[in-house]
Amino acid sequence: MPETPVTKIGNGFLSELEKQLFLEILFEYEGAIAFDDTEMGLVSEDIEPPVEIHTVPYEPWQQQNLRLPKAMQEMATVIV
């Protein structure tokens, strides 16, 4: 006889009442759970409108590379 979904939850850690409560919550909020990668990272604009982040103009800068002695280059490469 196949197991019911309630008995497949956990390894005896939850009581039957806790399993039943977990399933009820799972079904009530299933729209908020991503079941695969295509559902991740998307929030409806009705729930949270897009955020506009104001920035200021800037000039990109570049710092001179840190020079390492030859003896330290191999070890630095391994670390990085």
Residue 53 in contact with residue 40, Cβ under 8 Å? no
Question: Is pLDDT larger for residue 6 or for residue 36?
Answer: 36
- Beta-carbon contacts of residue 14 (< 8 Å; ≥ 6 apart): 22
Q: What is the pLDDT of residues 16-64, one digit of tens each?
A: 898 899 889 988 988 778 778 777 776 778 888 888 899 999 887 887 7
pLDDT at residue 1 above 50? no
Residues of the chain by 3-state class (helix, strand, coil), percent to 5: 40, 0, 60
CA distance 60 to 72: 30
* Cα–Cα distance list, 78 to 16, 35, 73, 74 (Å): 53, 39, 9, 6
